[in-house]
Homo-oligomer: A and B are copies of this chain.
Amino acid sequence: MREEPGARRAGLSREQIGARAVEIADAEGFDAVSMRHVARELDAGTMTLYHYVRNKDELLTLMGDTIMGELLVSDEELSGEWRQNVAKVARATRRAFKRHPWIFEAMGQPVGSGPNGLRHFEQSMAAVRALRVSPRDRLELIGLVDDYVFGFTLREVLQEMYEAEGDPDMTESGLAFFESELGSGEYPHVSKMFRGDIRAGVERLMEEFSGERSNNRRFERGLKALLDGFEANLKKRKRS
């Protein structure tokens, strides 16, 4: 039940709107985020939203910034060691994205240029403050890490969405497709991985690369590799 038409209500705020939209997306999926739905959830008329956002794209941007707010780490957690700091921020980022997997369906809207994006940037800069290199190298490092985390988490989330669709028929037909293609002999290097029983091999591989434990380990190893390589190249350059 809404109030009288024309009534003054405790005015909405952009943050509030963004937060509600995020809740809807979390609960009912990204496609459930329509202007009408968000407005209804806020006990407001649909068109009222348009006094706070220019259009739906801006609402999506708002949602993006809401999430950027979630990947902030409390300042006490940041010590003097840059590697641990970077790792902590990276983990928080992955966690936040995994909490809101639909974020990747909202790509195409700028994410990370809002206020909270700026805060994340500041935090990243703070994380590497003890690293004595040029500002450019600092930027390159945090960009690199962000890119890796983004790519990794995107794949992870898509894979989980795919599995969660729960359509065993789809899984079955996908597996059958895989099996028949593999049998064609066009994929020697892939086939070599599954000596003999293709189906069992694929299932083993899927399992090995999808469990949470396994994903965490791969995430950490990739991050370590990235940081190790970056550090090694730094030292090499300094020496010359």
Q: How large is the interface on A (under 10, 10 to 19, 20 to 34, 35 or more residues)?
A: 35 or more
Contact with B along A121-142 (1 / 0, CB 8 A): 1100110010000011001100
CA distance A119 to B225 in the complex (A): 27
Contact of A92 with B by CB under 8 A: no
Closest CB in chain B relative to A15 CB, distance in Å: 16
A224 at the interface (CB under 8 A from B): yes
* A139-B205 Cα distance, complex, nearest whole Å: 10
- B222 adjacent to A144 (CB under 8 Å): yes
Number of copies: 2
On whether A144 and B225 interact (CB within 8 A), knowing A107-B154, A155-B150, A189-B125, the answer reads yes
Q: Does A233 contact B (CB under 8 A)?
A: yes
Chain A positions within 8 Å of B, measured between CB atoms, are: 30, 102, 104-105, 107-108, 110-111, 113, 115, 118-119, 121-122, 125-126, 129, 135-136, 139-140, 143-144, 146-152, 154-155, 158, 161-162, 174, 178, 181, 186-190, 193, 205, 208-209, 218, 221-222, 224-230, 232-233
